Each structure stands twice: as C-alpha cells, then as structure tokens.
Amino acid sequence: MDTSLKNEHPGVLATPDSTKTCGCSGTLAVPFLGSPALHETGTLELRPSPANRPNCEFCSPVLVTWNQDIKTGAIQFVSAALEQLWRRPVSELKAGLAALVRWAHPQDGHALQSLLQGGGAGTAEYRILWPDQTTRWIRTVRVPMHDESGNLVRLAYLSEDLTERKQAEESMRVQKFALEASANGIVITDIEGTILWANQAFSKMTGYSLAEAQGQCPDFLKSNQQEPAFYSAMWTRILAGETWHGELINRRKDATLYTEEMTITPCQNSTGQITHFIAIKQDITGRKQLEAQYLRSQRMETIGALASGIAHDLNNMLAPVLMCVSLLRGTTSGEEQEKLLQILENSACHGGELIKQVLAFARGVANQPMLLQPVRLIKEFKKLVDNTFPKSIQITADLPATSQTIQADPTQLHQVLMNLCVNARDAMPHGGVLSIALRDVVLDEHLCALVPEARPGEYVLISVTDTGAGIPPELREKIFEPFFTTKETGKGTGLGLTTTQAIVRAHGGFIGISSEPEHGTQFKVYLPASPENAPTTHHPRSSPELRGNSELVLVIDDEESVRNVCMRTLQHFGYRGLLASNGVEAVPLFAQHADEVAVVITDMMMPVMDGPATIKALRSIRPDLKVICTSGMGADSALFTQADVSLNFFLPKPFTASALLQMLSDTLHNQPS
C-alpha cells in the first residue's frame, strides 16, 4: 500500500482496494468509519479534497478530521467541518487539546482525554457542549500515521456526529420498553406470519416463552374453535393492507382455552409493500365470563320476576288442597284413605316450600333457622323421593333413632337434600343405589386443619352416596362454580350445587366430596350441632282450644276456591264467616258488621283494591281491627311496608287448615306467631 503523506487537504482517508469513488479527487476512496478493513491494517492514505467541491461527502459534517504532530503535540490541521461540529472557530480548535477537553461534557471529559493521550489506534464516544450548552454525541477514531520508514509521525482524528443516531436508539429503547411493559400481548410477524418477536404479556397470556414462539406460525395456538373460513377472511383482509379486528378462542401451553381480542395491522415499506404484521392481543376470558354471568343474572332476574308473578296464583291453587285435606279427614275413614290424604298433604306442602325456595333464590330472601331434629326431616324427605324417583333406583337410609339437633332452616335443608339426590339420580340413568346416612361426629383440630372452612366441635354429618358414573378429577374443582354444568343444554342450570354450598355455608357448615370415575360419588354435609339446646317438642293445642266460639271472620281473597274452602273450614271449626273478593266489596260489608267482626283475613295481592289499601280503609272505620295477612309473595314484600301491618300475624300461602286455625287463635288471644 502507498503510505505517502499529502498535506494539502488531509481530510480523506482511502485505500487502493476501496470500492467507492470520491467525487472530489476522482480516485477510489472511502471514509475510515465505513471501511472495517482499515481497522485491521491501520495504514491509511490521505487524499486532497479540492476547495471547489465543498459538497463532497468526505468533507461534510458527518466525517471531520484534525491532525496532531507527534513531536510537538500541536494540532496541525483542522477541517472546516469540525468547526461546524463543535460550533467553535478553527482558531480555538487549533489552540490545543486542553481546549477540546474543556468543551466536552463534564461526565465525558475523561473519555476524550484518554483518547487524546494515547498513541495507537483507538475509539471513543463522548458528549460535547456547544456554546449555547446544547449537548451533542460525538464518535472519534484515532488513527496513527507513519512515514515511509514506518515511523509514527502524526495522529489523525476522525469524528462523526452520533446525536441523531443516539436519539433514535433511545427512542427505540423507550419504545421497546413500552412494548414489553404493555399489558396487552404484542406479536410481530413477517409477511408469511412467522413470529419474529413477542413481548412478555404474550408469554404470560399463552404460557409460551419468546424462544418457544419465535420462528413459529401462530397456528400452534389454534383451538379448532373457529372455522377455516374465519382465518381465510382474516388473511384476505390483512393481505389487502387493511386492519383486522376480532375475537377468537386459542389454546394455552397448558391446554386450557382462552378468548382473546386481537387487532392485526399491516406494516408497509416506502414503496407500499407489506413487510410485517403487528398483532395486539388482549385476554378477555374473564370479561366474557362476566358477560355470560351477567346475562345469566338477567335471566335469573326475569325468572325471579316470573316466579313472583306466578307464586300468588300457584299458592292459591295449593291452599284449597291443603285445607280440603283437613276437611276430608273429618268425613272419611280407613287406613288407605288416610295414606292417600297424607301423600296429598305432603305433596302440597312440599310444592309450597319449593315455591318459597325459588323466590328465596331469585330474590335473595334468607329464611330463619330453627332448632330441629334432622332424623325426622330426612325420613320425610325419603318418603318424597321414594314416590318420585325411578323405580330402577334403590333408595336406602341409614338413620339412628335420634341425633344431635341443629339450627337450620328446614326448607333450605330440604333443598340441599333435593339437589344432592337429584344429582345422584341423574348420575344413574340406568339405575343404581342411592344411600342417605346420618350420624354424629366430632372434629378435632387436626382434622379441621385439612379443611379451611371447618372448626373443631360437634357436627351432624349427612352423607348422600350414589353408585353412578362418578366425577372426573379435572371437574371436581369446578362443580361448585356458578352456572357450571355437565348436563345438556336445557337440562341443567348449573346452580344446584352452588346453591347447596351457599346454604350449607350459611348454616356454618361445609361440604366434602369423594368420587372416582365409574365408582360413584359421595357428598358429605357437615352441619354444626346444637347440643346445648335440648330439642323442643311442639305440642299443638288441642282441638277445643283451636275451635272458635262463633266469632265472625271476614275473609277477603280474589280466588274463589280459597274463599270457599276458608268458609267451610271456619264453619266446621265453630266460626262464622263473611266473604269478599276484593277491597271494594269488603269495605261496605265490613261497615255493616263493624262491631261484630273479630278478625279480618285478607290477601295482599288482589285486583281493583289490594290488601294495603283495604287494610287502611277498614282501620279508618275501626282502628283496633285485628288483621291476618296472607300472601304467596313472602313477608318481605313491599306490600307489607305499604300496609304498615305487623308481621306477627302473617299466614304464608299455601296454608293448612290447622295453620289457619292456629293463626286465628293466636290473633284473637294476642299471641304473636
């Protein structure tokens, strides 16, 4: 290589094997910074740059130089471009190396100082301060210059302004940080859909790391929940340069499904050609579940409104049935007739209880617990399922003669047994054995440590066991979730076990489950015992106490069958009766017999003039009037607030003749029920 020195304008560095032509000299020349081979040889040739070609790229501010004499240390040459770079006059730049260090950024002066003090090849990146204190990034390369004998005679310094590049790098760094910090998954693919980059949110969403996803097509996330036409339409849109937005169901690494909302935007180069796709993904599984739950809740509200609307009519239908049973008992005899009457009464009672349970679930009404003996309740429940479940299912009960008492709502406990037994029945479509057992247990601290909900103490354990298909292990954790069901559409709401667990927890208990596929399932319901309270036996008053003494009772009800059966019952048990179908009929009738009427029995929901308005009208005539309110809506209805009546004398429909007589006796004797 020719290593001769030419000092006219040593601002261009070149080698004979360069591949770029300098417009100033017409010779082959390249900037030092653009020719990596020069780093290895360290040998350079300085080419002149004519003053009449000021726009030569080698004389531009991108690449500027100065020369330093080795012997004297003086700066011999400074290119004009360096003046533009440092924003200092050439005369000041030639003043000495100390001046250059002084104008460097305070934190980077040492980097420039080290570069200027060295004798071999070197590179430094540092900041300088312009006179107006603007900061600029500079990269300077130190190149040793030798004479023909190989002696080091000069040091050439080539500087490049890196400010824009540094700013771009910082901008890219911040942008990358923002992409990584994004809560949404971000994926960049090439035109073929191959994943080039993905952020941490994508990994968290899918379970796949960037290393696992990189180089793959997003097809590995497919769950086969979408038809091929779905993906075809998506690709047609994005390949046309349009943004696509939609929802799809994908599969995580652990095989669970999730719903994602995705936006795919095509990226185009300067010629308009699509080069990449950017996909923004958001996991909306939770939102979709909430939406579904909200829709189900709305449906339940509709069911609640419907149940409230029909409860009155249903209870009106059941009330005459129950009262007729009492009347028939007085006119018929025989063991077989008594059995039939008992079945009729039990069915009507359970029908009324189920209506109350529907209302309680739909409207969130909590019933009041009472001290009860679970043995008797389970025996009554077994009679019901014996008569209603398929004969292919054998129902057994392992019950002691007596057990600990519990504080429980009998209707809700009945619902718990019904839900568990119905599930057991459905698990045995071809028949099997359904076993109900009861026993007293004591849980110590060691056993309770295994069950977070349990507390040490005495419990009554009710177990319901079937010989059905069993529950797969992967479903056991989900069976108590609201609206989860494995039954076909229309055959299950997914609320049975959820309601059962809620009732048991409300009573201070908990539920255990053991199941094996094809080996049946056992549910264990633990309810706290109440041994400190001796079971109270209710002794109903004798018939003479419940019979009337010709008292006059005004019955107001829009259901004719209820009115007629009430009248028959009252007359049969020593009362006199007046009947009215609504408040408009009742007010003038009461006015005629105001001094004689002992008690008014009025329904709360009636056409023309409802219960609250009727009560106010009657009490405007006689303020001390005793009123018994009846309704199938429950005592929490707003109708009772409007009527401003005491709930001590409320008779829920449907009611038996004995309940009616008991309520009349309590009201007449001012004994709140």
Q: Which of 6-20, 129-143, 232-246, 592-606 has the lowest mean pLDDT?
A: 6-20
Find out whether 570 and 657 touch, Cβ atoms under 8 Å.
Answer: no
pLDDT of 472 strictly over 50: yes
Find out whether 525 and 504 touch, Cβ atoms under 8 Å.
Answer: yes
C-alpha span between 650 and 645 (Å, rounded): 9
Dihedral, 85, 87, 92, 94 alpha carbons, nearest 10? 10
Mean pLDDT calculated for residue range 369-382:
86
C-alpha span between 579 and 587 (Å, rounded): 11
Phi-psi region of 43 (alpha: psi -120 to 50; beta: other; left: phi over 0): beta
Q: Is 485 helix (H, G, I), strand (E, B) or coil?
A: coil
Say what the pLDDT of residue 539 is: 39
Closest CA to 218 of 240, 175, 205, 177: 205
pLDDT per position as a tens digit, 304-332: 555 555 565 566 666 667 666 666 666 65
pLDDT of 88 strictly over 90: no
442: β partners: 458
Q: Is 23 helix (H, G, I), strand (E, B) or coil?
A: coil
Say what the pLDDT of residue 481 is: 66
The pLDDT > 70 percentage for the chain reads 68
Q: Which of 67-81, 138-152, 524-538, 583-597 has the highest mean pLDDT?
A: 583-597
pLDDT per position as a tens digit, 189-235: 999 999 998 888 899 889 999 899 999 998 899 888 888 888 999 99
Going by pLDDT thresholds of 50, 70 and 90, the confidence category of residue 527 is very high
C-alpha span between 266 and 279 (Å, rounded): 9
The pLDDT > 90 percentage for the chain reads 19
Pairing of strands 552-556, 576-580: parallel
Q: CA 492 → CA 295, 362, 422, 517, 518, distances in Å?
A: 16, 16, 11, 21, 21
Say what the pLDDT of residue 367 is: 54
C-alpha span between 576 and 96 (Å, rounded): 127
Find out whether 493 and 502 touch, Cβ atoms under 8 Å.
Answer: no
Say what the pLDDT of residue 15 is: 34
Tokens read off for 629? 């309110």
Going by pLDDT thresholds of 50, 70 and 90, the confidence category of residue 31 is very low
User: Between 374-388 and 335-363, two packed helices, what is the crossing angle to 10 degrees?
Assistant: 100
C-alpha span between 624 and 615 (Å, rounded): 11
User: Between 611-621 and 583-592, two packed helices, what is the crossing angle to 10 degrees?
Assistant: 20
Q: Terminus-to-terminus CA distance in the chain, angstroms?
A: 118
Find out whether 446 and 494 touch, Cβ atoms under 8 Å.
Answer: no
Dihedral, 419, 421, 423, 429 alpha carbons, nearest 10? -150
Angle ∠(611,616,620) on CA atoms, nearest 5? 145
Going by pLDDT thresholds of 50, 70 and 90, the confidence category of residue 543 is very low
Closest CA to 323 of 572, 569, 544: 569
Mean pLDDT calculated for residue range 352-356:
61
Q: Is 440 helix (H, G, I), strand (E, B) or coil?
A: strand
User: Between 657-668 and 285-329, two packed helices, what is the crossing angle to 10 degrees?
Assistant: 80
Q: Is the peptide bond before 144 cis (omega within 30 degrees of 0)?
A: no
pLDDT per position as a tens digit, 567-584: 888 988 899 999 999 999
Task: Please tell me what DSSP assigns to residue 95.
Answer: T
Residue 659 phi, psi dihedral angles, 5° rounding: -65, -40
Say what the pLDDT of residue 309 is: 56
Q: How far is CA 43 from the centre of its chain?
A: 69
Determine which helix (DSSP H) or strand (DSSP E) holds 160, and give its type and residue range.
strand 152-161
Dihedral, 192, 193, 197, 200 alpha carbons, nearest 10? 180
501: β partners: none
pLDDT per position as a tens digit, 583-631: 999 999 999 999 999 999 998 888 888 888 899 999 999 999 999 988 8
pLDDT of 365 strictly over 60: no
3-state secondary structure 520-559: CEEEEEEEEECCCCCCCCCCCCCHHHHCCCCCEEEEECCC
Q: Is 325 helix (H, G, I), strand (E, B) or coil?
A: helix
Say what the pLDDT of residue 30 is: 32
pLDDT of 540 strictly over 50: no
C-alpha span between 243 and 280 (Å, rounded): 11
Q: Which of 103-117, 511-525, 542-556 has the lowest mean pLDDT?
A: 542-556
Cβ neighbourhood burial of 32 (10 Å; 0-12, 13-18, 19+) = buried
pLDDT of 422 strictly over 90: no
Q: How far is CA 603 from the centre of its chain?
A: 44
Say what the pLDDT of residue 59 is: 40
Q: How far is CA 79 from the centre of its chain?
A: 68
Say what the pLDDT of residue 598 is: 94
Task: Look over the chain and give the mean of its residue pLDDT values, rounded to a whole number.
Answer: 76
Task: List all residues 6 or more positions away from 308 whose beta carbon is below 8 Å from its beta carbon.
Answer: 359, 362, 363, 633
Q: Which of 237-251, 299-313, 404-418, 523-537 has the lowest mean pLDDT?
A: 299-313
Say what the pLDDT of residue 49 is: 36
Say what the pLDDT of residue 60 is: 38
Q: Is the pTM of this model over 0.85?
A: no
